[in-house]
Amino acid sequence: MRRAWFLTIPVCLLAVVGLAQDDVPATQAAATQQPRYLYVWAGHEARTQSDALLVVDIVPDSPTYSKVTYTVPVGSVGNEPHHIGLSPDGSTIVAGGLLSGRVFFFDIKSDPTRPQLVKIFDAQAVGLGVPDEVKPLPGRGVLVSMMGDHHAASPGGIVLFDTRAELLARGDSAPPDPNINVHDFDVNPAANLLISTDFLIPHTLIEGAPSVRDTVRIWDLNSLRIRHTLRIGQGPWITKFLPGTRKALVSCFLDGTLWLVDASYNPPTAQKVLDFDGDTNNSMPSIMEISRDGRWMFEALYGLNKVVQYDISDPTRPRLVSEVVTGQGPHYIRLSPDGKRLFVSNYFIEAGKTVLKGDNHVKLIRIEDNRMQLDPAFDVDLNNASAYAPTALIPQGKMRPHGLVVQ
């Protein structure tokens, strides 16, 4: 008999575990290993039961392949689960609740098949909110972007958690810039660089009249201070450094453009290199991934219901190689460390008057012969109980998938 889904967790009983006692990035070791688990950060659609971290079996010959094998309810609803990431050593998953301002820490080192919720950090207690992107910073901890303050207004910033999941530092400008609303960011530790995007003022999204930004920031990574500000397209969204360079790609959600920022110049430069869908502005480019060798860029196009692959050997002239329709509303994608599988979650956001839904499926794209191909055997349909193995708690109602981690 399946166990009942539950709503509350006695947070006072949660123990804090270390995030990263070893500074070797987990991706270096994982790149040579076959990934076994997909962690899905999901919200309850009706918001009557707990949001949860889901564990999905991704071993092809397993009897529970493409099934949710374990669930970790977080004891609260309406967090609007958003992005997630790993600690530098891969022992901890860090996940943000966009609307609640909470950051959740899950231990996956003790037993990767049965994660444990070990800490909940309330960003509003330090005057921040709207946690979004999560990235490891080897040797220091985990960085989390905060799009806004505790009222979902401006300014936001970036915070650094140490190896004990304690708040260590807060990054912003000096003097403070009231127009900072950090959405996404990426780091290049070797060059002491951090690049971030300002998307919009969060509370205006909830109110249905978005006040959109057009700024990209270049930071000093060690001090977490802004050094340069550039203006590009409408709604800078996702940014990624090209491996081994001071150049980064930036996608803009509202005008469907792709920009190349070069931080090797002082001041940095930016040039538009692509319109994803001509001049229609219908593409809504969402999460971006870049292969470890820097040759391939993968982008979810929420507005067109597909994922695209570009050859970026020459980043000033991206060349379309393949595209795959994944269902309604692809938004979040995650490339496996070995670069052979790309996981896709079909759901975006429901925040006040802004509703950008999906079909609540998680799909798998295989990368074979340098091209994408949808795996028909992998389909996690979080609208139905059939998505869950007997070992998992089953919610009553639909779950909405968002952030993904492959391990």
At 30 the pLDDT is: 54
Percent of the chain at pLDDT > 90 equals: 87
Average pLDDT over residues 357-375: 97
Delimit the domains of the chain by residue range.
Answer: 20-281+394-406
**280 pLDDT tier (thresholds 50, 70, 90):** confident
**32 pLDDT tier (thresholds 50, 70, 90):** low
**210 pLDDT tier (thresholds 50, 70, 90):** very high
Sign of CA dihedral 306, 307, 310, 316: positive
* Contacts of 370 by beta carbon, 8 Å cutoff, 6+ apart: 296, 321
Mode of pairing for the β-strands spanning 330-335 and 319-325: unpaired
Average pLDDT over residues 100-114: 97
Pick the closest to residue 340 from 298, 311, 379 (CA basis): 298
Pick the closest to residue 156 from 144, 168, 138 (CA basis): 144
At 33 the pLDDT is: 76
Pick the closest to residue 205 from 161, 162, 253 (CA basis): 253
* Contacts of 12 by beta carbon, 8 Å cutoff, 6+ apart: none
* Contact (CB, 8 A) for 155 and 201: no
Options 3.90.850.10, 2.130.10.10, 3.30.1360.70, 3.30.200.20; CATH of 20-281+394-406: 2.130.10.10
